[in-house]
Structures are given as C-alpha cells and as structure tokens.
Amino acid sequence: MALLRPAPSRRAGLAAAAALALGLAGAPAAVGAAPAGEAPAAPAAVAAYAPLVVLHPAERYWPLAAEVFVRRSALLFAHDRGCPDRQLAGAGAVDPARLAGGGYRARAASERCVETGRLFRSDEHTRPFDSARLAPSGGEGFTLDLAGAARTGTPSSSVEPGLYTGTAVYYSYVPERFVTYWFSYGFSVPSFVASSLAGHEGDWEHVTVALRSGDEPTHVAYFFHNQPPELVAWSAVRKEAVTHPVVYSALGSHGSYRSAGLQGRVCLRTALRSFCGRDATGEGLRWRSWEDLRDLCSEPWYGAWGAWGAVGVLGGLTTGSLPPSPYREHAPSSIRRGATPC
C-alpha cells in the first residue's frame, strides 16, 4: 500500500508543531542524557512519537517487562505426544544473552519419547506449532514457561491518579522509515472469550509510526489479533501533547486500536473451535510510553525465537507468542521497504 503524502503546508505545520512541543527543530540525535545505570536516551523522533497507551478500566493483565518475563520463567524444550518436556533452566536461572545467542540446545522427541535427531538452538525459529523451515514438528520447541503468579503483570507504581507506570516500552527504529513501539504483557485472553484456557502467556503488541524525510510522521499502523493493521494518516490520528499518538489497548487481548469502544468483529480459530467477538477498549489508566523507552536491538534477550509462554491446550493460538526478533517483521512491508533496524 502506497503511503500518502500530505500537502506541503500540512507538512510544514506538522514539523513546526513537533518542533515547538518537543524541541525537534535542530535537536540532537538523542533527547536528554541517561542517568547512570539507566537505559540510554531514545533518539529524538522515537521520543517525540512514542504513544500514549490507554488501558481498559477493567484490565486485569497488566504490562510485564521482557526482562521480568525471562526472570520469572523456566526454559523448557516442549515435547509432543505426551512425552515429558525437558527443562533447560529453572525460573531465575535463564541467561537472556545465552538464550538470544543460541546457547541453549535440545533435540525433539520420537514417538517413543527418545530425544533424537539434530540439535535445535534457542535462536532458531522453534515456537511450537509454527510451520517454519527450522522448527521441529507439532508441539515441539523452546518455550519460556512463565510462573503463574506473574501472569497478571506489573500493577502501576504511579503516585499520580490515572497514570500507569512501572514497565518499559521497547522500540525498533529506522530513520526516515519507521519506528515501532512494542508492548509486553504476561498474559492475554480476549474479553469475548469465556475461559482463560483460550488465552496465552507472553503477549507482544505493537504500533508503527511511518516516517519520511526528516523523520516526519505520515501514518500510524495499529495491530491486533494477527490481522492486517489499520493504517491511519497522521492528520487523522488522535494525539496527546501534539505529537504522541493515542493507542487504546483492548481489554484482555491488548490489541492496539485508535479509538475507545467496541471494535470490529474478529474470529480466532483453532483446530477444535473458533472464538468470535469484538474487542473492547476504554478510558482507563494512561501509560506515557516516552517516560521509559528501551532500544529493542540492545536488549540482551533480543534474538530468542521460541515461544514466550507455555504450550497451550488448543495448539498454536494458545501457545506463548513469538517475541520481536531479527526474523520477525518490525513494520508493514509498505512502510518498511526492506529496511531492518538491527
């Protein structure tokens, strides 16, 4: 899909507004300096267009930082056919850099539950039930099995009413192409699904801001339920403080939408049954993502490509999701145009 360019007068107005509100005109590559022990400051465009995420007022599954997810998980190589899983590291003992570097290895199990064949590495596409070339068959593969008590995520630590704080937002950025913001949650189950058995651990959601020359924004892509994203022109996007797109996080599923209310009907299908309904978004706690931004490419766990979460009882739909990785698309192809952030 081709990107539409607003008229020159509109471009000038957007640039001037951004410059006045956030100091982008003549700004250095990064905003502020990182205090000792904290993440480096994000590039100016990344900080400027970081979204305001509005959580649903009835939300029960809060954001959960990726590093906390890894720390609260055991690393398993799941086996199919009722064979016992192999535990490679217990909760608190998973090394995120080793995980991303392919340092954990295991074999698939035969019908007799004998581990045999090639060694799979933790940086290969091994999410159970995926049909990737390097993945073992069926329900075999690496999984981070999150402790049940961690599923609810991290409640807000803000002393200011109405705000959510306590969890970082991750970004992947290609200058003058795009910046994608990634939100991590411990558990996901849509509000239109009655049983948590139809949910899954390890929920990664995201939105993309398309950029052109001078890092001026043109569109925002809102992602939900593995559907094609909704691509909205920058001029039509609701914003906070001039430049921050407002993103509504759906109750339970955390899909990203542009407005509050009931959203369009979606169907989530498994081999056994389908779950159809409409996501709900609403005016709950407001999460200022620009207050804690982390460069995805610099995270020690970046590169792991198994399941972030346990194997689900209904197959791939209820199995932990794929995290952002070097192999996963960081933006729609019409925006990305072959560019990769790292």
- The confidence score (pLDDT) of residue 135 equals 73
Across the range 167-193, mean pLDDT stands at 97
172: left (phi over 0), alpha (psi -120 to 50) or beta: beta
Sign of CA dihedral 56, 152, 273, 255: positive
Mean pLDDT of 329-334: 90
- Smallest Cα–Cα separation from 146: which of 206, 204, 251, 76? 76
User: Does residue 136 lie within any of the structural domains?
Assistant: yes
Amino acid identity of residue 237, one-letter, is V
Average pLDDT over residues 290-318: 94
Cα–Cα dist 68/62, whole Å: 13
Q: Are 258 and 231 in contact (CB under 8 A)?
A: no
| pTM strictly above 0.85 | yes
Identify how many contiguous H helices and E strands the chain contains and give both numbers: 5, 20
| Average pLDDT over every residue of 296-309 | 95
> Which pair of structure tokens corresponds to residue 317?
């739909």
Question: Residue 15's pLDDT band (boundaries 50, 70, 90)?
Answer: very low
Q: How far is CA 314 from CA 69, 268, 275, 331, in A?
A: 22, 11, 12, 28
**Residue 245 domain flag:** yes
Rounded to 5 degrees, φ, ψ at 332 are -55, 145
Residue 41 inside a domain? The answer is no
Does residue 221 lie within any of the structural domains?
yes
Would 20 be classed as within a structural domain? no
The DSSP letter of residue 326 is: T
| 37 within domain boundaries | no
pLDDT tens column, 220-241:
999 999 889 999 999 999 999 9
Domain span holding position 85: 48-342
- 181 closest CA partner among 33, 314, 42: 42
Residues 95-119: tens digit of each pLDDT? 999 999 999 999 999 999 999 999 9
pLDDT at 8 over 80: no
Helix (H, G, I), strand (E, B) or coil at 152: coil
The pLDDT tens digits of the residues spanning 65-105 come to: 999 999 999 999 999 989 999 999 999 999 999 999 999 99
Instruction: Please give the average per-residue pLDDT across 30-43, as a whole number.
Output: 59
Number of other residues whose CB lies within 10 A of the CB of residue 117: 11
Buried/exposed 301-331: b ≥16 CB within 10 Å, e otherwise: bbbbbbbbbbbbebebbbbbbbbbbeeeebb
What is the torsional sign of CA 282, 283, 285, 286? Answer: positive
Mean pLDDT of 27-49: 66
Q: Give bridge partners of residue 24 from the DSSP assignment.
A: none
Separation between Cα atoms, residue 316 and residue 307, nearest integer Å: 10
- Provide the percentage of residues in the chain whose pLDDT is more than 70: 89
Tell me if 299 is assigned to some domain. yes
pLDDT-derived band of residue 289, with 50, 70 and 90 as boundaries?
very high
pLDDT, tens digit, 9 for 90 and up, residues 317-331: 899 999 998 878 899
* Contact (CB, 8 A) for 59 and 248: no
Contact (Cβ atoms closer than 8 angstroms) between residue 79 and residue 85: yes
Residue 89 lies in a domain: yes
pLDDT digits (tens, 9 = 90+) for 198-221: 899 999 999 999 999 999 999 999
* Residue 285 confidence (pLDDT): 98
Tokens matching residue 97: 């850099």
Q: What is the mean pLDDT of the chain?
A: 88
Tally of domains within the chain: 1
Q: Which residue has the higher pLDDT, 205 or 275?
A: 205
Which sign, positive or negative, has the C-alpha torsion 324, 327, 328, 334? Answer: positive
